[in-house]
Structure 1
Amino acid sequence: MSALTLSKAINTGLRHILENDPSTIVMGQDVGGLGGVFRVTDGLQKDFGDQRVMDSPLAESSIIGTAIGLAIRGYRPICEIQFDGFVYPAFNQIVSQLAKIRARSGGEISVPVVIRIPVGGGIGAVEHHSESNEAYFAHTAGLKVVCCSTPQDAHWMLRDAVAGDDPVIFYEPKRRYWSKGEVAEEHPGIGLDRAQVVRRGRDLTLLTYGGMVQTCLDAATAAAEDGHDLEVVDLRSLSPLDMTTITDSVRRTGRCVVVHEAPMFAGLGGEIGTAVTEACFYHLHAPVLRVGGFDTPYPPAKLEDQYLPDLDRILDTVDRSLAW
């Protein structure tokens, strides 16, 4: 095992993919000479050439449209959308074409396109650079939607995503790009569509993903000082959801709080909460509660600390559940 930052873990994953599969191509704005705005693709064009690591025009619809054509011809494109809020010009290509081609062709045509998207806030960025838009794509049948939270998952989930034949939206929490963690040399054995219990507990389950996983772990540590033993589950896959791992946890603890950065109204927490209630109704001691961003556009950087879920908001919601 070696200790890598999350961004470096993705870089090494891309390097392994490019070395071992000649059908793979990395494409996106500034992914070549610059190495991406977060330097995730640093050095790849130098080592693999500009036919394998390609700088694209500033046109997201063109990036995804080109990738779909390449995938139909047998390639495995890995597209980078520079920031989460920049994906909307490609929305039609993703939801009307990429997600539908396999069904439209009766299973005859696969489009193994992976779309990497830095997601979420916490870096003091300007408008359209800190959005959490996973609910749009999780709602779209035909897409896999996943979100890593650690260097280990970033590396191995990306390799799994590229190896599969489904189109994948691959979210990377940009606030965690510089967080370090161990990355195993061998596959850790957990599938792309599986959740993972990252902290065991008995009193309440925190369900979360991406940048909020570490925040929930910190909340669980703080809650332990008050004698509350919280379990933290990293969902990893947002569509499909691993309901087996989720329900096993909630049935043991009897309480559940869902945490995400996105606004709560029609967010993923609502779907998860309903699914948990249906599956665990007779095991619940309190309603499933949610912690999320507010139902407003993402605020200017100086206000994002008030917008994003933090320890206080998570622990206040935990207290509400435990007091039920």
Structure 2
Amino acid sequence: MTEMFMFDALKEATDEEMAKDNRVFILGEDVGHYGGSYKVTKDLHAKYGDLRVLDTPIAENSFMGMAIGAAITGLRPIVEGMNMSFLLLAFNQISNNAGMLRYTSGGNFQIPIVIRGPGGVGRQLGAEHSQRLEAYFQAIPGLKIIACSTPYNAKGLLKSAIRDNNPIIFFEHVLLYNLKDNLPEGDYYLPLDKAELVKEGSQLTIVTYSRMRHHVMQAVDLLSKDGYDPEVIDLISLKPIDIESIGNSLEKTNKLLIVEECMKTGGIAAEIIAQVNDLYFDLLDAPIMRLSSQDVPTPYNGNLEKATVIYPHQIVSAARTLIA
């Protein structure tokens, strides 16, 4: 086992897959000589050269279109968004091209592209750099959406995503890059369509993902001291949602709390609630509760920013209400 930061785990995953397959390449703003805004591509330019680690102009729609074209021809591009919020400038390419070309070509084209980078609410990055884009992309047919949450799953999921033949949005939370974890030596791959059972429990199912996994586990530590026994599921895959794992958990607990950083209106929790009501309504002994970010642009002011997102004490309070 080797202790590693998340940004190093992502870099190692990329390096390993590039070494194995010369069709894999990286492009984006400052990914080359600078090594990426969060050092996920550090030293890769020196190892692989200009043709496989491409510094692009600040023109997201252009280099996204180039990457999709490269994928059609058989290459396997990894696009780094310096900040995932900037990818709204390439929304047309991601939706009308990456998401749909396999279908509209009658299956003649595959689009094996990974679109990855930092996102989420950070430390006073302002509204335009703190967007929660999972709800934006969730409605696009043809895309897979992944949200890593630990260095261990970041590496295994990114390696699997690079090998997948579908377009994948790969979210990395900006506040998790310096998270440390012990990673096994050598290759490992994690499934892209399965949630992770983080903690088994009997009284309540808490479903979460990305940075909120860590807020939930802090809350669970406090709840456990008072004798509560919640079960925790990290979604990992935001599209498709592993609804079966949630259903299996509800057969034991019969109560559901969803904790997300996404906005409440049209968020991931809203989709989970709809699917649970369709498939597992009879398992519920209480109304589903969701804790989501405020439906406002993320403020720059630090105290106001904190007021928009969910923290452990709110999770503790909601869990106690549901279990009581």
* TM-score, structure 2 as length reference: 0.97
1:315 counterpart letter in structure 2: V
2:192 maps to what in 1?
Answer: 192
In structure 2, relative to structure 1, the CA distance for the partners of 1:171 and 1:273 (3 Å cut) is same
Distance 2:103 2:51 in 1: 30
1:120 maps to what in 2?
Answer: 120
Q: Any idea what the Cα deviations from partners look like across 1:255-288, whole Å, max 9, x if unmatched?
A: 1111111110111101101212222222211111
2:320 maps to what in 1?
Answer: 319
1:209 counterpart letter in structure 2: Y
Contact 2:4 2:180 in 1 (8 A): yes
SS of residue in 1 equivalent to 2:31: coil
Distance 1:237 1:56 in 2: 29
SS of residue in 2 equivalent to 1:91: helix
Distance 1:3 1:131 in 2: 30
1:84-95 correspondence runs (5 A): 84-95=84-95
Contact 1:205 1:257 in 2 (8 A): yes
2:55 counterpart letter in structure 1: D
SS of residue in 1 equivalent to 2:194: coil
Q: Any idea what the Cα deviations from partners look like across 1:48-78, whole Å, max 9, x if unmatched?
A: 1111101001011012100011111111000
1:314 counterpart letter in structure 2: I
Contact 1:83 1:128 in 2 (8 A): no
Distance 1:187 1:134 in 2: 28
1:70-149 correspondence runs (5 A): 70-149=70-149
Q: Do residues 212 (structure 1) and 212 (structure 2) align?
A: yes
Contact 1:7 1:40 in 2 (8 A): yes
1:161 maps to what in 2?
Answer: 161
In structure 2, relative to structure 1, the CA distance for the partners of 1:15 and 1:188 (3 Å cut) is closer
Distance 2:129 2:301 in 1: 10
Distance 1:149 1:26 in 2: 22
What's the CA shift for 1:136? 1.4
* TM-score, structure 1 as length reference: 0.97
2:248 maps to what in 1?
Answer: 248
Unpaired runs of 5+ residues, structure 1, are: none
What's the CA shift for 1:124? 2.6
1:277 maps to what in 2?
Answer: 277
SS of residue in 1 equivalent to 2:295: coil
Q: How many equivalent pairs are there?
A: 323
Contact 1:84 1:128 in 2 (8 A): no
What's the CA shift for 1:164? 1.0
Distance 2:52 2:157 in 1: 21
1:308 maps to what in 2?
Answer: 309
RMSD (Å) for aligned C-alpha atoms: 1.3
SS of residue in 2 equivalent to 1:87: helix
SS of residue in 2 equivalent to 1:169: strand
Distance 1:189 1:47 in 2: 23
Q: Any idea what the Cα deviations from partners look like across 1:167-211, whole Å, max 9, x if unmatched?
A: 000001111100001222355564111001011111111101111
Contact 2:126 2:298 in 1 (8 A): no
What's the CA shift for 1:98? 0.7
SS of residue in 2 equivalent to 1:96: helix
Q: Any idea what the Cα deviations from partners look like across 1:4-55, whole Å, max 9, x if unmatched?
A: 1111000001110111110011000000111111111111101111111010
Distance 1:164 1:188 in 2: 15
Unpaired runs of 5+ residues, structure 2, are: none
1:17 counterpart letter in structure 2: E
Distance 1:85 1:301 in 2: 19
1:41-52 correspondence runs (5 A): 41-52=41-52
Identical-pair percentage = 36
2:230 maps to what in 1?
Answer: 230
Distance 1:315 1:212 in 2: 13
SS of residue in 1 equivalent to 2:286: coil
